[in-house]
Structure 1
Amino acid sequence: MNAFLKRVWIGLAATLIVSLAAVVMPDQVQIGDDGRVHLGAPASTPSVSAPAPHPEPTSPPLTREEVDEAIATAVRAAGLDAEQGKSTVPAGSNPNRTGWTAIREKAAAQSEMKAICADLERQGWVLNPNPNGDTADLSRSYKRGGWYLLVSTRGQSQAPSNTLSDSQTHLTMTGLQLNLSDIPLPAVTVRIR
């Protein structure tokens, strides 16, 4: 039984690592229709339908405080008061993570998300498309200065269903500082069954 549990935990850990890598570096992780995961630069020409990540201009690393200010600026640009929401990571608790969330009406959340994204792009954040997860109306990924920022309106999956009415959703910005670009990924193909 212990050998079986060990295989299960190893499989779960591998799945988690591949999933995180696919979100953070979508240009380095491809998951085929047959379940094969390819790590490293694409061996063939990427699909024309998948948007290519935009190259990030050289910018100095950002601090958590600078990312918090970028989030607050984008929220204000969308016509919202940052105090209407709440920080998802308390100040000073983790220098590599930050975020903001607010309960919004679904009818307004998508246009507010678009306004937030437009302001992030104005601030120099570069679109970091995730072909397996981003959609123009539900979530968009950005990168800048060693940080990755996900803007999302996926409400019911982020909170217990009893906190939101049917007309509400969470408007969320989640920031994570990762510096994985210095770690070369070998070209490896794994079959997940």
Structure 2
Amino acid sequence: MNALLRRVWIGLAATLIVSLAAVVLPDHVQIQDDGRIHLGAPASTPSPSAVAPTPESTSPPLTRDAVDEVIRTAVSAAGLDPEQGRPTVAVGASMNRTGWVAVREKAAAQSEMDTICADLERQGWTPNPNGDRPDASRSYKRGGWYLLVSTRGKTQAPSTTSALTDSQTYLTLTGLQLDLSDIPLPEITVRIG
């Protein structure tokens, strides 16, 4: 009985890990019809039912300074002053992370987020439709960077910020540089039962 429970728990844990990976990195996780899960580069012969991921624009790798400028431009396009918000990562603290956050009225935050997202697409950022919630968060990728645009309520507020009123929320842009192309990931088959 213990061996069966152990196999069930291992199967559940593997399924959870793969599911999370599929949401965060949809281009690097393919689940085939036969139950095989491929991590890493797309399989050489994808099944006919597999949906091809949206190709990323062929842009050179971006620097943190370039991503900071992208964020400032998108925030300005939404009619906001980038200086009214604050960076989420100190300048020079990390070259592969950046971000911006501002307290906004809930009534305006959604349209501001929509405008920011439209400007990111105008700047050549590729949207990632997997796992996004259009009313709360959207993610984009370009030049080795991933950007998450979100509105966060006060229950998810960063601990270093002031308290929000019931009519306020946080408008946040978070950038993270990831390069997973050099990491060889094995093929994993998950079977339960």
TM-score range, shorter chain: 0.7 to 0.9
Identity of counterpart residues, as a percentage?
Answer: 72
**Deviations for 1:143-186, whole angstroms, at most 9, x for unmatched residues?**
01110000011223431698122221111000000001333433
The structure-2 alpha-carbon separation of the partners of 1:30 and 1:56, relative to structure 1 and needing over 3 Å to count, comes to: closer
Aligned to 1:179: 179
Q: Does 1:95 align with 2:58?
A: no
Take 1:16 and 1:155, find their aligned partners in 2: how far apart are those partners?
A: 26
SS at the partner of 1:173? strand
Distance 1:160 1:63, change over 3 A: closer
Task: Give the C-alpha shift of residue 138 in structure 1.
Answer: 1.0
**Matched residues, number:** 173
Query: What is the distance in 1 between the residues matched to 2:183 and 2:114?
Result: 33
Which amino acid in structure 2 is aligned with residue 139 of structure 1?
A: S
What residue in structure 1 maps to residue 152 of structure 2?
A: 154
Q: Return the offset for 1:24.
A: 3.7
1:116 matches 2:95: no
- In structure 1, what is the Cα distance between the partners aligned to 2:17 and 2:89? 22
What is the letter of the counterpart of residue 74 of structure 1? A
Q: Is the 8 A contact 1:53 1:127 kept in 2?
A: no
State the secondary structure of the residue aligned to 2:169.
Answer: strand
What 5-or-longer segments of structure 2 have no aligned partner?
A: 1-12
CA contact (8 A) 1:53 1:129 kept: no
Pairs within 5 Å for 1:13-28: 21-28=21-28
Q: What secondary structure is seen at the aligned counterpart in 1 of 2:148?
A: strand
1:23-74 residue CA offsets vs partner (Å, 9 max, x unmatched): 441233368xxxx993434865247xxxx64211211110000000000000
Indicate yes or no: 2:173 matched with 1:169.
no
Distance in 2 between the 1:98 and 1:37 partners?
A: 36
Is residue 38–residue 188 contact of structure 1 (8 Å, CA) maintained in 2?
yes
Distance 1:108 1:23, change over 3 A: same
User: In terms of mean alpha carbon deviation, does 119-128 or 159-168 score higher?
Assistant: 159-168
For residue 72 of structure 1, give the secondary structure of its aligned residue in structure 2.
helix
Q: Distance in 2 between matches of 1:117 and 1:109?
A: 12
Give, in whole Å, the separation in 1 of the partners of 2:89 and 2:14: 26
| Partner AA of 1:165 in structure 2 | T
Which one of the candidate residues 139, 149, 155 is aligned to 2:137? 139
Q: How does 1:50-69 map to 2 (within 5 A)?
A: 53-69=53-69
When the two chains are superposed, the root-mean-square deviation of aligned CA atoms in Å is 3.2
* Larger CA Rg, structure 1 vs 2: 2
State the distance in 2 between where 1:105 and 1:189 align. 47
Classify 1:94/1:53 alpha carbon distance in 2 versus 1 (closer, same or farther; 3 Å): same
Unpaired stretches in structure 1, ≥5 consecutive residues: 1-12
Work out the CA distance in 2 between the residues paired with 1:125 and 1:186: 29
> CA 1:27 to 1:65, structure 2 compared with 1: closer, same or farther past 3 Å?
same
Deviation at 1:188, TM superposition (A): 1.1
Secondary structure in structure 2 of the residue aligned to 1:163: coil
Q: TM-score if structure 2 supplies the norm length?
A: 0.75
